[in-house]
Amino acid sequence: MFQGETAITIDDKGRLAIPTAYRDLIARECGNRLVLTYNPFDAGSLYLYPHAVWEAVRDKVNALPRTRSTHRTLQLKLVGAAMEVEPDGNGRIGIPASQRTTVGIERRAVLVGMGDKFELWSEQAHQAQIRQTLTDDDMAGDDLEGLQL
2-132 CATH: 3.40.1550.20
pLDDT at 110 over 90: yes
Residue 112 host element (H or E): strand 108-115
How many other CB atoms are found less than 10 A from the CB of residue 50? 21
Do 45 and 121 touch, CB atoms closer than 8 A?
A: yes
Judged against a pLDDT cut of 70, whether residue 148 lies above it is answered with no
Q: What is the pLDDT of residue 82?
A: 97
Mean local confidence (pLDDT), 17-46: 93
Mean pLDDT of 86-100: 96
- What is the SS3 assignment for 141? coil
What phi, psi does 123 have (nearest 5°)?
-60, -40
Please, which pLDDT band fits residue 149 given cuts at 50, 70 and 90?
low
Task: Give me the chain's average pLDDT, please.
Answer: 91
Average pLDDT (97-116) is 95
Q: Which H or E run includes 8? A: strand 2-9
pLDDT digits (tens, 9 = 90+) for 112-132: 999 999 999 999 999 988 888
How much of the chain exceeds pLDDT 70, in percent?
91
Task: Output the pLDDT for position 112.
Answer: 96
Percent of the chain with pLDDT over 90: 81
pTM of the entire predicted model? 0.89
Report CA dihedral (36, 39, 44, 45) to the nearest 10 degrees. -40
Helices (H) and strands (E) in the chain, counts: 5, 8
pLDDT in tens, 62-91: 999 999 999 999 999 999 999 999 999 999
